């Protein structure tokens, strides 16, 4: 497939390249960097919350800045770019085209991300990654808020450019012999998520502009002091960002569709149901945004509509899980590191979905709203499912990208530590929420159960830190000194790949 690192090339040649695998490599390296920066912030937050009173962070404003930047980094600078990395590497090869449809636009979409990251990281806004008004309009200090708004604006444009490229590449550039129904499910996942981005992102782009002009005093869309409506912002925000959850999870499921058949040594059980479920998820993504807003005074009927809309995602999600289970059935499963991450991700996806059913039930939502339950649910989904799929796929891509094998033993240790750490951290956060601890607080009263659970959560986070440290060391060491990989079959699985590495697209 690709061997960027084996055959040495000057860095500038990769940086200024528009070839899809070079752009994919840059996305990959950037997203891994962002994951560690965002992870370091998470560890700082957990050290602070290990016990009541100030531990590491001096004041609540710094704490607020840290969790805002952590959330923004993980979602926009780790998960989205890592999905783009995988898409850039594999989509053109899967649709048998020489590159992405618009290579220069592709490189531009990537190069918009680092400046946006600098804005977010240097600004360190303090209003949470929702930026909810009226606080974000009236009180949030400048210039951090403006830097965040500009940063997100740039990232939004980058996402739209990337999505246009994926849609055109898959629909218009695929090989004439390849019918759309036979396009691999990973490519289908990028088609679905890109269409969601194109439909959802402009709404948030408008909301950001309105937020900016509100902050400048030119308008009062969301400022109640001048007759604006803060709830309107929440509608615009969640109309984009509930579908955005699917934008993140659909490629992760697509990655699992690559890993699970390969390591089970069986073809996908049902290509048709996978496509159907992707299309269904793309549609119901837009039917559930206001389930984040039950507590804003919606009518009973509105809440019922959004509750049913949210539950409509369950059958489509279940179809994917059944497809995975049916694929594994009667296989001879090799539990190499990528497969462990994929199966672990499916298990946590199921647990996160069960928690989501509780959240979507409006009476129960009032018990869990703005509590640590939500933090646990969100992280179980975003980390336990999406990051698990992504990390598994990074291991899967590793030999193709570097020409070397990672250390399998340390890969397994990494998985076990992070899986155990994630279960301790995120399941305990659910329970802590039911015990009444609100989210986004810098300090908490000395309640025994809260102290014990917070300490346990922080220990879980430290276990994950050790696991991720091993991951980083494994990546760096193995890319330089790992055993040369047998690129015909790096994992020793047998069978034929439909995109052998010899078919790599020539550089241009």
| Segment 400 to 459, residues that bind other proteins, using CB under 8 A | none
User: Rounded to the nearest 10 degrees, what angle do helices 408-422 and 448-481 cross at?
Assistant: 160
Residue closer to other proteins, measured from CB, 104 or 182 = 182
Pick the binder of other proteins from 61, 325, 441, 480 (CB under 8 A): 325
Peptide bond into 134 cis (omega under 30): yes
Out of 7, 330, 445, 481, which residue is the one contacting other proteins (CB under 8 A)? Answer: 330
SS3 for 429?
helix
- Contact with other proteins (CB under 8 A): which of 261, 355, 392, 411? 261
Q: Which is nearer to other proteins, 311 or 459 (CB)?
A: 311
Instruction: Give the contact letters, 87-116, x = binds to other proteins (CB under 8 A), - = no.
Output: ------------------------------
Q: Establish if 350 lies at the interface with other proteins (CB under 8 A).
A: yes
Smallest separation, CB 469 to other proteins (Å): 27
State whether residue 97 is helix, strand or coil. Answer: coil
Q: Which of 365, 228, 191, 371 is nearest to 288 (CA)?
A: 365
Burial of 301 (0-12, 13-18, 19+ CB in 10 A): exposed
Only segment of 208-216, 320-328, 423-431, 480-488 that touches other proteins (CB under 8 A): 320-328
Q: How far is the CB of 348 from other proteins (least distance, A)?
A: 11
Binding mask 280-319 for other proteins (x = CB under 8 A): -------------------xxx--xx-xx--x--xx--x-
CB closer to other proteins, 325 vs 473: 325
Select the span of 82-90, 112-120, 333-341, 452-460 touching other proteins (CB under 8 A): 333-341
Q: Which residues contact 140 (CB under 8 A, 6 or more apart)?
A: 125, 126, 127, 131, 215
CA-nearest of 343, 339, 291 to 314 is: 291
For other proteins, the closer of residues 10 and 181 by Cβ is: 181
Residue with tokens 């752009």: 23
User: Do residues 129 and 75 lie in contact, with contact meaning Cβ atoms separated by under 8 Å?
Assistant: yes
Provide the β-strand partners of residue 484.
404
E strand or H helix that includes residue 318:
helix 313-328
Contact with other proteins (CB under 8 A) among 143, 202, 217, 272: 272
Closest alpha carbon to 244 in 186, 203, 273: 203
Question: Which residues, 165 to 184, sit near other proteins by CB under 8 A?
Answer: 181
Least Å distance, CB 361 to other proteins, is 5
196/302 Cα distance (integer angstroms): 23
Tokens 């269409």, residue located: 195
Residue with smaller CB distance to other proteins, 12 or 300? 300
Least separation in angstroms between residue 220's CB and other proteins is 31
Tell me which residues in 351-380 interact with other proteins (CB under 8 A): 354, 357, 361, 363
H or E element: which one contains 89?
helix 80-94
Give a three-class secondary structure readout of 17-75.
CCCHHHHHHHHHHHHHHHHHHHHHHHHHHHHHHCCCCCCCCCCHHHHHHHHHHHHHHHH
Looking at 10-18, 23-31, 289-297, 331-339, which segment touches other proteins (CB under 8 A)? 331-339
- Site size with other proteins, rule: CB under 8 A: 46
Window 456-495: contact mask with other proteins (x via CB under 8 A): -------------------------------------xxx
Closest CA to 436 of 373, 354, 357: 373
In the complex, least distance from residue 338 CB atom to other proteins, rounded to whole angstroms = 14
Q: What is the dihedral of CA 312, 313, 318, 319, to 10 degrees?
A: 90
Burial class (CB in 10 A: 0-12, 13-18, 19+), 197: buried
Measure the CA–CA gap between 7 and 487, rounded to whole angstroms: 15
CB 198 within 8 A of CB 168: no
Which member of 6, 334, 504, 507 binds other proteins (CB under 8 A)? Answer: 334
**Structural contact between residues 119 and 151, judged by C-beta atoms closer than 8 angstroms:** yes
* Residues at the contact surface with other proteins, assessed by CB under 8 A: 181, 261-262, 264-267, 272-273, 276, 299-301, 304-305, 307-308, 311, 314-315, 318, 321-322, 325, 328-335, 343, 346-347, 350, 354, 357, 361, 363, 493-498
């Amino acid at each position: 497939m690709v061997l960027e690192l084996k055959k040495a090339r000057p860095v500038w040649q990769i940086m200024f390249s528009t070839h899809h695998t070079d752009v994919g490599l840059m996305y990959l390296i950037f997203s891994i960097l962002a994951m560690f920066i965002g992870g370091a912030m998470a560890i700082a937050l957990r050290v602070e919350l290990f016990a009541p009173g100030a531990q590491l962070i001096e004041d609540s404003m710094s704490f607020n800045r840290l969790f805002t930047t952590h959330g923004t980094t993980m979602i926009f600078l780790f998960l989205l770019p890592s999905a783009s990395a995988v898409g850039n590497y594999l989509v053109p090869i899967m649709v048998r085209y020489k590159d992405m449809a618009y290579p220069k636009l592709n490189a531009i979409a990537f190069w918009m991300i680092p400046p946006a990251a600098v804005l977010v990281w240097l600004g360190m806004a303090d209003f949470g990654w929702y930026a909810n008004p009226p606080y974000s309009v009236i009180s949030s200090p400048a210039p951090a808020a403006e830097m965040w708004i500009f940063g997100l604006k740039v990232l939004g444009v980058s996402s739209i450019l990337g999505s246009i490229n994926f849609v055109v590449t898959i629909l218009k550039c695929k090989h004439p012999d390849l019918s759309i129904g036979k396009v691999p499910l990973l490519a289908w996942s990028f088609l679905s998520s890109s269409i969601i981005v194109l439909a959802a992102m402009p709404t948030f782009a408008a909301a950001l502009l309105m937020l900016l002009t509100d902050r400048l005093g030119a308008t009062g869309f969301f400022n109640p002091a001048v007759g604006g409506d803060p709830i309107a912002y929440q509608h615009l925000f969640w109309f984009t960002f509930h579908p955005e959850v699917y934008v993140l999870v659909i490629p992760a499921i697509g990655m699992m569709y690559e890993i699970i058949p390969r390591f089970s040594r069986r073809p996908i059980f049902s290509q048709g149901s996978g496509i159907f479920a992707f299309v269904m998820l793309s549609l119901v993504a837009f039917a559930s945004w206001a389930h984040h807003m039950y507590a804003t005074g919606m009518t009973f009927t509105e809440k019922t509509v959004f509750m049913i809309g949210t539950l409509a995602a369950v059958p489509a999600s279940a179809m994917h899980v059944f497809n995975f289970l049916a694929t594994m059935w009667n296989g001879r499963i090799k539990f190499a590191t990528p497969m462990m991450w994929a199966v672990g991700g499916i298990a946590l996806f199921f647990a996160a979905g069960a928690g989501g059913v509780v959240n979507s039930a409006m009476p129960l939502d009032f018990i869990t709203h703005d509590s640590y339950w939500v933090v646990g649910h969100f992280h179980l989904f975003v980390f336990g499912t999406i990051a698990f799929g992504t990390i598994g796929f990074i291991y899967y891509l590793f030999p193709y990208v570097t020409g070397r094998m990672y250390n399998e033993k340390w890969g397994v240790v990494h998985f076990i530590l992070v899986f155990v750490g994630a279960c301790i951290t995120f399941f305990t956060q659910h329970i802590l929420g039911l015990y009444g601890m609100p989210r986004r607080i810098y300090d908490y009263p000395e309640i025994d159960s809260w102290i014990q659970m917070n300490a346990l959560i922080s220990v879980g986070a430290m276990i994950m830190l050790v696991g991720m440290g091993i991951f980083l060391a494994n990546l760096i060491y193995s890319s330089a000194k790992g055993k040369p990989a047998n690129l015909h079959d790096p994992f020793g699985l047998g069978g034929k790949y439909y995109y052998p590495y010899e078919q790599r697209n020539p550089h241009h």
